[in-house]
Every structure is written in structure tokens, then in C-alpha cells.
Copies of this chain bind each other. A is one copy, B any other.
Amino acid sequence: MAMRDTLDFLLYGWLQSESLNQRERFADHSRETFDAVLDTCERIAREKFAPVNRLLDTQEPHFDGERVHLPQATREALDAYVESGMLSAAQDYENGGMQLPCTVEMAANAFFSKACIALGGYAMLTNGNANLLMAHGTPRQREVFAKAEFEGRWFGTMCLSEPQAGSSLSDVATRAEPDGADSENDPLGPRYRLRGHKMWISAGEHELRENIVHLVLAKIPGPDGKPVPGVRGISLFIVPKWLVDAEGQLTGERNDVVLAGLNHKLGYRGTTNCLLNFGEGRHQPGGQGGAIGYRVGAPGEGLKAMFHMMNEARIGVGLGATMLGYAGYEASLAYARQRPQGRPLTATGKDAASPQRPIIEHADVKRMLLAQKSYVEGALALELFCARLVDEQHTAEAEAAGRARLLLEVLIPIAKSWPSEWCLEANSLAIQVLGGYGYTRDFPVEQHWRDNRLNMIHEGTHGIQALDLLGRKVVMEGGAALMALARRINETISAAGQVPGLAEAANQLAQALAQVGAATKAAWATGEPEAALANATPYLQAFGHTVLAWIWLDVVLALAPDDTRDFAQGKRAAQAYFFAYELPRIAAWLAVVQRREALCREMQDAWF
């Protein structure tokens, strides 16, 4: 079954994406225009991205002390991406965009992530960077920087982490000081000099485009000359690699941002990942050291602005993890169909003289493929559902938009974390299906597994997602987000209860939902964060599995009960697999949450 069939079914059969054209913003669109975008992206991904995926892994970016060297294939593939117009696909017509719904934009980007996740990184960062400027930048910042990014003339980065501050952004130490007497009057925005180090900067240095637009979190010293502690002290700055004038023309002057070194990674090797030094004086823009940056938004509002785009960034990471899982699923399915090995078990034993059979006939291989299918197709459905919520939030009438916002709040930690964990597991199963061959670099599955291991780390680690979910999202606004989700899940349960063959699953999901609710309450029963949150990760896992079970049940509800095509049977089997093999896992995870198991938090360093 080609992925496109599943994608089409999820978009049109399940999410009714065609109906989006009833919204004014999408009035010019139709299934035809959506399909045209999907066709184009599927083709470019197949023709330009997929063929270079291994090459970009093997020929890792190399820093000679002056310049970064990337394989030529990187530029060629990204040129094709830029030409597709996808960088600005969701933007307004007046800004050169095509007002594409987020749902379709994400679906289209899925092809690129599956073909070569490392290339997708450049695009995702540039798009996120420009979107942030559209939301928080001045008209001129939008015109100069965002526009060049949407057009793909410049690429963007997000500079948050520092060597000593990863998950703990409140400890950002990069300083920004006003750049002279006229600093407030720069047409590009209040001008500062930045000094500090930024770590893990993807796409932080390259020569793929004529400029790089760094978005940098830094602290402006207070009246006492010291940075304000905590996240309240953080502001946001545009720091271009090459300086530009008020019309966005390159002045030829190099800003004081210097590559200190490339990180050599386990995977995702085609995306340069850098330690950048800001303001060390290597370059002297305007005759002095210090990286020139233009403030975006008000002082102290930097993190808020950065987090404005967080939902879409986290859907993007979750989708990337999903598509790596999908790529492994496809590769191992193809292998299992053509690899002969062993013979079926029968009551009379095996006949060694009979020819070997394709391994897809073995129950355990089918189990490994079905597990992958349930993970990757379920995760894809979840990501598209969340993308649809983004569209709802932006274009539906107020009440529906508000409901979508609440659902997104509570689903985003799952959309980011669940595929990172389970589509990685899918990648491991793909290796296992291939056996020894899967362990070699002659097949793609080992690279998928290496690439995917990043996704539980970046864009907020698993542990951070868990704290966000149990510590913030399920308790926010008096539990409103959790209740909104429960209502939505109960709609599915009610509908499934009416369908022969799904009633038992509906009942199982209802029980799971009740268990999650009870555990949530029990976790917070004492009101002490350290007691509630000590088991936040098992809670995240149980919550995630419950959400995925709901998604699967909702997806199969979109099939006609009398639909017996292979496609429909496959979806039903994956749903049934998830309910039989996966959903029952939540009991073990929730048990420790429910009783506020104190073992881990009471563990002492000296006992290890």
C-alpha cells in the first residue's frame, strides 16, 4: 500500500480537508489544488531528496577552520525545494504565499522528511524563523528578513541553547547591549551588540545561500549591569551572518558571528550542527567587535515570541520522527516480501525439502510489520490531526477555534514525544526484520534508526515534554484542556459503540481514558509538584498510548463498515493490533503515577 493512499485517506476520508475551502482564507482551494501540491512534493522528494539521503550521511559536513564544506547534492536538492514554493506555501497571497492550510502543508512536507530528514531541517528552520518574524517582527523586519527567507534566498536558524544551558533556557548567558547612542533609531530595529556562545545550532553555518538569518535569545543587562535571572530577562534578536541595509541589500560587511566548531553526530548528519561564537571580535562590523543584532518585540519578551511558533515546530519534529519510522516500515515491508527464509509452521512440522518462503509469511515478522504500521500510520494521523487543529485555531469561528487551541495545548507534548519514542522503536523493528542485513550500511534502516534518535532530544526532551504535559497542560485553566480532549475522545467512543466490531474497542478506550483521568487526579492529590511530577514520563507514555488508541479508533470509524478492500482491512488490523498489544501497556505506566511512587525522587546519588 503506497503511503499516498494512506495520506489521501487521512486528509480527505478522515479529516475532510476539502471542507476547509468553506473558510474564506482557503476559498480558492479544492482537492485539486491540494493534490497538485502533494504531487509536486512527492515527486521532488523522490527525485531530488531520496537519492542523496545516504550520501549526506556518509559525506558529513566538514569544517576546515575557515569554511564548511557540504556535498554539492545538498544545494541541488534544496534548490528544488525552494523552487517548489513550499517555504511560503502557508503565507498570505499578498506576501507571495499560496494560503495553503497547515494540514496540507504538513502532509506535503511529510514526503521530504521521509526521503531525507537532514535536508528537511534547513527548510523547517527557515520557515519557522520567517513565521516568527511575521508574527513578532516590525513591518520592515518582515519585509527584509522574512521575505528573503520565504523566497529561499536566505536560510534561517533558531539560536536558543548554549553549552551550559540546554533544557534550562533561563540560564542563557549571551548578552545584548545597546549599540551606541543611535541604537534605537535603526530602521531594522533597535540595534544591539551580542556576545556569547550558542550550541546545537542546526543549519548554523553553510554557504548554501547568500545569507543566514540567526534568531538569537540573549539577555539585556539591567540598570545594575547584570542580566535579569530567569526567563523574564530573555529578549529576541535578528543576527544576520552578513549585514544588510534598510532595503535588505547585502552591504558586504561580515557580522561578528563565527563558527567555533561542528558537532559530529550519530545521525541527521546532512544538517550542519554548530557551536557559534557571537561577538568575539573575529569580525569588526562598524569598526568594532560584537555581533550586531536587531531586537524583535519588546525587551524580556523573547522566549514568549520564540514559543509562539512552538506548536508548529513540535508538530514538525513529531512528523519528522513519524516519517523516519515510515521509511523504515516501507523498507522492511519490501524486504520481507522478497526475502525467502524458513518455512511455515504446521501441525506436522516443516518439510525441509520444500522451497523457502518469504519471511512475511512468519507470524513474528508480521507482528513486527504490524507494530510498525500501527506506530507510523497512527502517528501520521495524529500529526495531521494536530495540523488541522492549527487551521481550526486560525480560521474557524471563535468557539471552535478556542476548542482547537485547548486541544492543541494538551496534544502537542504527545505529537512531539510519541513518534520520537515509538517510531524509533519502529526503526528498530525494521532492522530486526532485515536481520544481519539490517545491521549493515548497505540498507537504509540503520540510518533511519540513527537519524530518529535525535527526536527525543531536540525541541524539548522527552522529560521536558512530560513536565509540560503533567505539570502545565492537564492542569491549565482548571483542567479545561484535558476536559476538551476527554470530550473529543468520548465522541469517538460513542460513535464506535454503535458500530458492530468496534464496541469492544470503544469500551477498552473508555476504560483507558478513565484510568488516565484517575491517575491525573491522584498525581496532583497532594498538590506537591515534586510528588506529582516524579513520574511525569510514565504518565506521558500512558497518555500518549491512550491518545493513539483514540486516533486509531477514530480513523477506522471513517471507513465504511462494508468496505472490505485490502486497504480497509489493513487499517482495521493496525487498529486491532494497537488495542490488543499496545494499549494494555498503560496499566504499568499509570500504576506508579497513581500512587505517586517516590522511589526515583528518593533515590540518593551515593546509592548508584
Q: Which residues from chain B contact A530 at a C-beta distance below 8 Å?
A: 344-347, 363
Counted per complex, copies of this chain come to 2
Q: Which residues from chain B contact A607 at a C-beta distance below 8 Å?
A: 1, 566, 569-570, 573
Which residue of the partner chain B has the closest CB to A340?
A: B164
Q: Does A115 contact B (CB under 8 A)?
A: no
Q: Which residues from chain B contact A267 at a C-beta distance below 8 Å?
A: 439
Q: Which residue in B263, B435, B438 is a CB contact (below 8 Å) of A167?
A: B435
Q: Does A603 contact B (CB under 8 A)?
A: yes
A interface: dominant SS: helix
Q: Which residues from chain B contact A369 at a C-beta distance below 8 Å?
A: 603, 608
Q: Which residues from chain B contact A147 at a C-beta distance below 8 Å?
A: none
Q: Does A295 contact B (CB under 8 A)?
A: no
Q: Which residue in B231, B432, B608 is a CB contact (below 8 Å) of A373?
A: B608
Task: Decide if B440 touches A363 in the complex (CB within 8 Å).
Answer: no
Q: Which residues from chain B contact A457 at a C-beta distance below 8 Å?
A: 431-432, 435-436, 438-439
Which residue of the partner chain B has the closest CB to A441?
A: B264
Which residue of the partner chain B has the closest CB to A233?
A: B352
Which residue of the partner chain B has the closest CB to A354?
A: B229
How many angstroms between the C-alpha atoms of A365 and B588 in the bound complex?
19
Task: Decide if A581 touches B588 in the complex (CB within 8 Å).
Answer: yes
Interface size class of A (residues with CB under 8 A): 35 or more
Which residue of the partner chain B has the closest CB to A577?
A: B599
Q: Does A461 contact B (CB under 8 A)?
A: yes
Task: Decide if B363 touches A168 in the complex (CB within 8 Å).
Answer: no
Task: Decide if B373 touches A600 in the complex (CB within 8 Å).
Answer: no
How many angstroms between the C-alpha atoms of A592 and B362 in the bound complex?
17
Q: Which of A1, A340, A588, A604: most chain B CB closer than 10 A? A: A588
Task: Decide if A600 touches B167 in the complex (CB within 8 Å).
Answer: no
Q: Does A181 contact B (CB under 8 A)?
A: no
Nearest-CB distance from A451 to chain B (Å)?
11
Q: Does A450 contact B (CB under 8 A)?
A: yes
How many angstroms between the C-alpha atoms of A320 and B134 in the bound complex?
54
15 A-B pairs (CB sep. < 8 Å) = A166-B341, A167-B341, A168-B343, A229-B352, A265-B441, A266-B439, A363-B530, A363-B535, A364-B537, A365-B463, A367-B537, A432-B461, A449-B453, A585-B585, A588-B588
The 4 closest A-B pairs by CB, nearest first: A230-B352, A570-B607, A584-B588, A363-B601
